[in-house]
Structure 1
Amino acid sequence: MHDQIASTHEAAFLNLNKAAEYLGISPNTLYVWRHRRQGPPNFRMGRRVMYRISALNEWVIAQERADSRSNAALNPLTQKAMKRAVRTP
């Protein structure tokens, strides 16, 4: 029973190296983001830095929404053209 619980918890969390592999980035990038307080949410479990898989997935979705190439609502090329203000001398 204890082994089953332990394996379930291990499956829900990734350490820094595994999280970097999961995201397709280098561990160094994830390390730098962590120290700049950027990137996906993380926490310390004892001495290890851990990432929830669900938090990584949510973070990726948020990045997609914030990117104008993935989100047509943010793409300036799909916006309605605005008229320029006329300057008066």
Structure 2
Amino acid sequence: MSEVAPFSQRRPSALPNASAVGRAFLGVQEAAAYLGLSPRTLYVWRHRRQGPPSFRLGARGRVTYRLDALDAWIREQELADSRSNPALDPVSAAPQRRVDHSATA
């Protein structure tokens, strides 16, 4: 069994079917393998307009993902997570005064 490379090192050649993925666009199966998710998760996210950006390509209208868009989406997820972005960590934030809204005039 081969080990899966971390996201930052994962390129199409690191995927199981590198010949089908050695390009700038990935299908749902390849994108799911690249992200370490199930294809069903990507379909659900697309339906809910969540997850990485995708579009339909070709005469059959296959759902397609750009490889660079997947990498950018992963970086956005890392920045939005307080565990990987200390600026968002609520424990390290300076305490703020509470505003008393009960005394309205």
TM-score when normalising by structure 2: 0.69
Q: Unaligned regions of 5+ residues in structure 1, if any?
A: 1-6
* Distance in 1 separating the partners of 2:33 and 2:101: 54
Q: Which has the higher contact order (CA 8 A, sep 6+)?
A: 1
1:31 equivalent to 2:43? Answer: yes
CA offsets 1:23-53 (integer angstroms, 9 cap, x no match): 0011100110001000001111122111000
Q: Percent identity?
A: 58
* Distance in 2 separating the partners of 1:56 and 1:78: 30
Question: For residue 13 of structure 1, what is the amino acid of its counterpart?
Answer: F
Q: Name the structure with the higher helix share.
A: 1
Identify the match of residue 75 of structure 2 among 58, 61, 72. 61
| Post-superposition offset of 1:87 | 9.0
1:78 equivalent to 2:96? Answer: no
Identify the match of residue 50 of structure 1 among 43, 55, 64. 64
* Distance in 2 separating the partners of 1:45 and 1:84: 52
When the two chains are superposed, the root-mean-square deviation of aligned CA atoms in Å is 2.2
Question: For residue 56 of structure 1, what is the amino acid of its counterpart?
Answer: L
* Distance in 2 separating the partners of 1:54 and 1:38: 17
